[in-house]
């Protein structure tokens, strides 16, 4: 059964469109389950379950027969969201007969809902003429089948939506997760990871002859590389491995394979795209095979495919063209991709992977670039050069928008620009409540571009300088001197204001290409301080660079990420003292900077007092703290709804940390994204946070909100909020207060679509 299941899913995955996927499903399920009818019904835009594919019923009834939401047995399965297994379907009160389908003698019925992300997409049904109660094994198989296929169907439906909606003159809408607020209307530039077969963008070409000869030269080059590699390794390879190289070379000479690719190129697409399509099809065929030996060959095909693709991409014009209003689209956008784009042309971003608190989203917020993350069903390889609207407020995007939608979003853009302009006036005004209670608004930085934006917006210091960003943008560790120069630039730009430099925080979703960390569970693994304490040479070089950079400026604070115990803090402090003493001995005239601890692990919340007693300041990293408190991966769009920044557990932890820090006379900051939310900022102020550190983009909005309330009002709101049992009711409290205070616009525009 497992093999059948796997091979059906593989075949469905390889289907070109939704209709062929459904046709495969009904045909294969009917055979495997040895029944007489298998049909698939999908919910259509009229809220009816339409018969979309059948093997066994009258084929003409496809697209004709449909049932309402709780109509007939199909509607009943969907409404109950449960499998229904009937020996004699005709006796069931919900049974409905359709003459078009020719099903009069079908007695037994087994129907199971197809559910994706809590949404019923349709119903999968098998039927039989003789009276038979399908057994438990049948039920289990059909349930497993529809659970596995739900994602594939949802994806195929969304992918097909692009073309069918365009044909019907509708805007193709895709839902993701809000990444960075704002709205952008521009042209898609699809950026793929090098040699990634699944993300080669669809591009059309006109000179077919030239593309075919380009493909040939790519193949020849790959052949040479593989041949040379085989030669070089000959003495070290066993016969089986040598045979693999020969098999690769043979495949590259395989006339059918070459013909398949040239045929596709003949349809007017690039060699890279044609090659990736053909290889992926072969890979799927092999992965779907029952024989384990043949199944494993899928990996060889993929490997070979990637090698040739690398050749095609390295020799092709891989330098992207950027229109003036470029929207960067990719399967998984990374910080280093951002470095490749002319900043002035980049107006929006879309990432298929990742979520609102992925680091690329945090960078996007810092740069003020509207971004949608986790658009898992977005057919990103198909949208090169097409017009997109990115709605970073709601995490929604549209491809090929129609004139009405475009107009609405253009108006929002104008309104947004007005709001930002209006807030500029606040730049030099103090951040204080109406009754003169002051709180410091600092910024989070990482890129040099952040510095100018931060100063323009009136930042009073840096609460988090993410030192890993310059590390991410290189292909080796920066030397101590290179680091010193980078840090000096930051410290000088903000002097005399404080700059809080966090020691290297890699691991989790921040992987250095030159220092790979492979783990099953990276967020619970070797991250932040754990890595640098295990590599004192990296830590010491970084701290020495920071200290040297601060000479004569004395505006540095050092902050330690991911601290989970007093022992880690003590060990890190020891290394910092050592670096400091060495530099003093070397003749540097520097002051020992304040050393602080990030509170981003639940253990640190409960030890905040002990940590505060042994350090100079605490700073809450609410991004990680939320993910660890709620056990929700900050990168996973599937659980993005559960990542609730206003969850009472998070708010209580925040309050507890502020109290514990102050009990030891420590200054308490927050540098997670929560600080940049105008509503949260009011609560944090009332909790007593001394410093709120946020992305430069949000700083004026936060200042505007704080300048509009009194401390007493903020306290009252905090009291009310802390009495709420869940994030939803906290949200309602906040909305009410902000509507009343007239600040609702700070949270984004009202969008009607
Ligand atoms: C945090 O976790 O809140 C934080 C500021 O650190 P980062 O987002 O870089 O993990
Ligand atoms: Mg963190």
Tell me, yes or no, if 671 is annotated catalytic: yes
CATH number assigned to the domain comprising residue 414: 3.50.30.10
Residue 429 lies in a domain: no
Q: Which two tokens stand for residue 37?
A: 């009818």
Confidence at residue 163, expressed as pLDDT on a 0 to 100 scale: 59
Centroid of ligand 1 to alpha carbon of 141 (angstroms): 43
% pLDDT > 70, the chain: 93
Q: Is 606 found in the same domain as 484?
A: yes
Question: Both 225 and 88 in a single domain?
Answer: no
Sheet holding 49-55, edge to edge: 66-67, 49-55, 37-43, 119-128, 108-116, 84-86
Which DSSP state fits 168?
T
Of 297, 315, 333, the position where a domain reaches its end is 315
pLDDT in tens, 506-527: 998 888 888 888 899 999 999 9
Residue 565 has pLDDT above 60, yes or no: yes
Contacts of 295 (CB under 8 A, 6+ apart): 286, 287, 288, 289
Domain membership flag for residue 430: no
- Ligand nearest to the Cα of 366, by number: 1
In 3-state terms the chain splits into helix, strand, coil percentages (rounded to 5) of: 50, 15, 35
Q: Could you tell me what percent of the chain has a pLDDT over 90?
A: 59
Per-residue pLDDT tens for 177-222?
999 999 999 999 998 777 788 888 888 899 999 999 999 988 888 8
Among 446, 505, 657, 698, which residue has the most ligand 1 atoms within 8 Å of its CB, making it the best to mutate?
505
Q: Is a pLDDT exceeding 90 seen at residue 544?
A: yes
pLDDT in tens, 50-77: 999 999 999 999 999 999 998 999 999 9
pLDDT at 287: 74
Least distant ligand from the CA of 620? 1
For residue 561, report the distance from its CA to the centre of ligand 2, in Å. 7
Measured CA to CA, the distance from residue 166 to residue 383 in angstroms comes to 12
Atom of ligand 1 nearest to the CA of 357: 8
What pLDDT is recorded for position 255? 84
Q: Which of 282, 315, 348 is a domain's end point?
A: 315
Integer angstrom CA distances of residue 97 from 73, 87, 102, 165: 10, 16, 9, 33
Distance 675 CA to ligand 2 centre (A): 14
Looking at the fold, whether 458 and 573 belong to one and the same domain comes out as: yes
* Residue with CA at minimum distance from ligand 1 atom 3: 621
Going by alpha carbons, the residue nearest to atom 6 of ligand 1 is 621
Best of 361, 362, 605, 654 to mutate for ligand 1, by most ligand atoms within 8 A of CB?
362
Do residues 92 and 187 both lie within one domain?
Answer: no
Q: Is the C-beta atom of 446 inside 6 A of ligand 1? A: no
Q: Where among 286, 315, 344 does a domain terminate?
A: 315
Is 378 within 8 Å of 396 (Cβ atoms)?
no
Residues 106 and 35 placed together within one structural domain of the fold = yes
State in Å: Cα 413 to ligand 1 middle.
Answer: 29
Is residue 645 within 6 Å of ligand 1 at its C-beta? Answer: no
Nearest residue (by CA) to ligand 1, atom 8, is 623
In a domain, 747, yes or no: no
Asked if residue 240 and residue 136 are part of one domain, the reply reads: no
- Which of 600, 604, 634 gets mutated to test ligand 1 (max ligand atoms within 8 A of its CB)? 600
* pLDDT at residue number 668: 98
Atom of ligand 1 nearest to the CA of 508: 10
Q: For 608-634, what is each residue's pLDDT tens digit?
A: 999 999 999 999 999 999 999 999 999
Query: For residue 3, is pLDDT > 80?
Result: no
The predicted structure's pLDDT at residue 185? 96
Distance 466 CA to ligand 2 centre (A): 10
pLDDT reported for residue 516: 85
Ligand 1 pocket, residue 358 CB under 6 Å: no
Ligand 1 lined by 671 (C-beta under 6 Å): yes
- The structure's pTM equals 0.81
Residues 497, 627: one domain? yes
The answer to whether residue 63 is domain-embedded is yes
- Residue 9 counted as domain residue: yes
pLDDT for the residue 705: 93
Residue 11: predicted pLDDT: 79
> For position 22, which CATH number holds?
3.30.450.40
Q: Is the CB of 624 within 6 Å of ligand 1?
A: yes
| Per-residue confidence (pLDDT) for residue 238, from 0 to 100 | 65
Q: In what order do the strands lie in the sheet with 172-175?
A: 172-175, 396-399, 387-391, 183-190, 326-330, 346-351, 371-373, 177-180
- Range with the largest mean pLDDT of 287-296, 401-410, 619-628: 619-628
Flag the least confident range among 293-307, 473-487, 535-549. 293-307
Same domain? For 679 and 727 the reply is yes
At 660, is the pLDDT very low, low, confident or very high (cuts 50, 70, 90)?
very high
**119 burial level (CB within 10 Å; 0-12, 13-18, 19+):** exposed
- What is the sign of the dihedral through the CA atoms of 599, 600, 602 and 603? negative
Instruction: Establish if 293 belongs to a structural domain.
Output: yes
Higher pLDDT, 448 or 478: 478
Q: What is the pLDDT of residues 120-149, one digit of tens each?
A: 999 999 999 888 889 999 999 999 889 888
Of the listed ligands, the closest to the CA of 467 is 1
Task: Output the pLDDT for position 581.
Answer: 98
pLDDT at 202: 86
Quote the number of domains for the chain.
4
For ligand 1, atom 1: residue with the closest CA: 621
Q: Is residue 427 part of a domain?
A: no
Residues 451 and 368 in one domain: no
Q: Do 480 and 397 lie in a common domain? A: no
Give the nearest ligand 1 atom to 671 CA.
Answer: 5
Is 311 within the bounds of a domain? yes
Decide if 431 is catalytic: no
Give yes or no for a cis peptide into 559 (omega within 30° of 0). Answer: no
- Catalytic annotation, pick one of 76, 155, 282, 671: 671
Catalytic residue among 116, 359, 647, 733: 359
**H helix intervals, 168-268:** 208-233, 239-252, 255-266
- Would the CB of 600 count as within 6 Å of ligand 1? yes
Q: Do 446 and 461 have their domain in common? A: yes
**CATH number of the CATH domain containing 305:** 1.10.274.10
Do residues 38 and 181 both lie within one domain? no
What's the whole-number mean pLDDT along residues 269-282? 89
The domain spanning residue 540 has which CATH number?
3.20.20.60
- Output the pLDDT for position 744: 66
Query: 205: domain range?
Result: 197-315
């Amino acid at each position: 059964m497992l093999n059948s299941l796997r091979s059906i899913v593989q075949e469905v995955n390889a289907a070109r469109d939704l209709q062929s996927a459904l046709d495969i499903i009904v045909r294969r399920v009917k055979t495997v389950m040895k029944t007489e009818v298998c049909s698939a019904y999908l919910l259509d835009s009229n809220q009816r379950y339409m018969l979309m594919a059948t093997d066994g019923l009258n084929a003409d009834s496809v697209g004709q027969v449909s049932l309402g939401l709780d109509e007939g047995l199909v509607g009943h399965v969907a409404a109950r969201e449960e499998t229904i297994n009937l020996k004699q379907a005709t006796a069931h009160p919900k049974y409905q007969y359709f003459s078009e389908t020719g099903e009069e003698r079908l007695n037994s019925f087994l129907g199971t809902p197809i559910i994706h992300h809590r949404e019923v997409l349709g119903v999968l049904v098998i039927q039989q003429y003789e009276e038979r109660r399908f057994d438990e094994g049948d039920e289990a198989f059909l349930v497993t089948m529809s659970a596995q296929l739900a994602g594939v169907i949802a994806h195929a439906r969304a992918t097909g939506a692009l073309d069918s909606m365009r044909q019907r003159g509708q805007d193709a809408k895709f839902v993701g997760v809000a990444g960075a607020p704002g709205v952008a209307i521009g042209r898609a530039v699809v950026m793929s990871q090098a040699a990634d077969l699944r993300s080669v963008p669809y591009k059309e070409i006109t000179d077919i002859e030239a593309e075919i000869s380009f493909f040939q030269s790519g193949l020849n080059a790959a052949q040479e590389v593989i041949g040379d590699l085989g030669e070089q390794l000959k003495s070290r390879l066993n016969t089986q491995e040598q045979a693999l190289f020969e098999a690769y070379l043979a495949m590259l000479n395989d006339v059918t394979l070459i013909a398949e690719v040239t045929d596709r190129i003949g349809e007017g697409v690039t060699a890279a795209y044609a090659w990736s399509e053909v290889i992926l099809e072969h890979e799927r065929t092999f992965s779907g095979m029952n024989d384990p030996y043949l199944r494993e060959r899928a990996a060889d095909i993929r490997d070979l495919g990637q090698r040739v693709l690398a050749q095609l991409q390295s020799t092709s014009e891989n330098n992207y063209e950027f229109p003036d209003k470029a929207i960067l689209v990719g399967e998984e956008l990374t910080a280093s991709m951002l470095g490749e784009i002319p900043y002035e042309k980049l107006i929006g971003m879309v990432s298929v992977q990742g979520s609102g608190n992925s680091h690329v989203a945090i960078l996007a917020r810092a740069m003020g670039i509207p971004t949608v993350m986790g658009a898992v069903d977005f057919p990103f390889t198909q949208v090169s050069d097409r017009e997109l609207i990115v709605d970073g407020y709601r995490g929604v995007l549209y491809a090929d928008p129609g004139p009405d939608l475009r107009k609405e979003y253009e108006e929002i853009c104008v309104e947004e620009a007005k709001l930002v302009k209006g807030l500029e006036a606040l730049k030099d005004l103090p951040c204080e409540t109406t009754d003169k209670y002051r709180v410091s608004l600092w910024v989070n930085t990482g890129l040099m571009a952040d510095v100018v934006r931060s100063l323009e917006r009136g930042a009073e210091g840096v609460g988090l300088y993410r030192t890993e960003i310059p590390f991410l943008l290189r292909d080796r560790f920066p030397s101590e001197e290179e680091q010193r120069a980078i840090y000096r630039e930051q410290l000088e730009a903000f002097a005399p204001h404080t700059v809080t430099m966090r020691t290297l925080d890699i691991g989790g979703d921040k992987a250095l290409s030159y220092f790979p960390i492979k783990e099953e569970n990276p967020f619970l693994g070797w991250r932040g301080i754990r890595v640098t304490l295990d590599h004192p040479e990296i830590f010491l070089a970084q701290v020495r660079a920071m200290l040297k950079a601060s000479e004569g400026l004395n505006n540095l604070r050092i902050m330690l990420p991911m601290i989970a115990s007093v022992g880690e803090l003590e060990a890190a402090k020891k290394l910092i003292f050592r670096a400091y003493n060495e530099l003093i001995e070397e003749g540097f005239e520097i002051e020992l900077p304040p050393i602080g601890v990030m509170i981003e692990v639940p253990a640190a919340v409960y030890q905040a007092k002990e940590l505060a007693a042994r350090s100079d300041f605490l700073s809450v990293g609410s991004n990680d703290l939320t993910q660890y408190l709620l056990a929700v991966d900050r990168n996973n769009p599937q659980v993005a709804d559960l990542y609730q920044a206003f969850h009472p557990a998070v708010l209580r932890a925040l309050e507890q940390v502020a109290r514990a820090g102050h009990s030891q006379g420590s200054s308490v900051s927050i540098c997670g994204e929560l600080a940049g939310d105008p509503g949260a900022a009011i609560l944090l102020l009332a909790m007593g946070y001394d410093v709120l550190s946020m992305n430069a983009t949000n700083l004026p909005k936060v200042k505007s909100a704080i300048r509009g309330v009194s401390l007493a009002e903020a306290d009252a709101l905090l009291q009310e909020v802390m009495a709420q049992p869940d994030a939803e009711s906290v949200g309602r409290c906040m909305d009410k207060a902000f509507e009343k205070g007239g600040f609702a616009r700070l949270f984004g525009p009202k969008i009607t679509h």
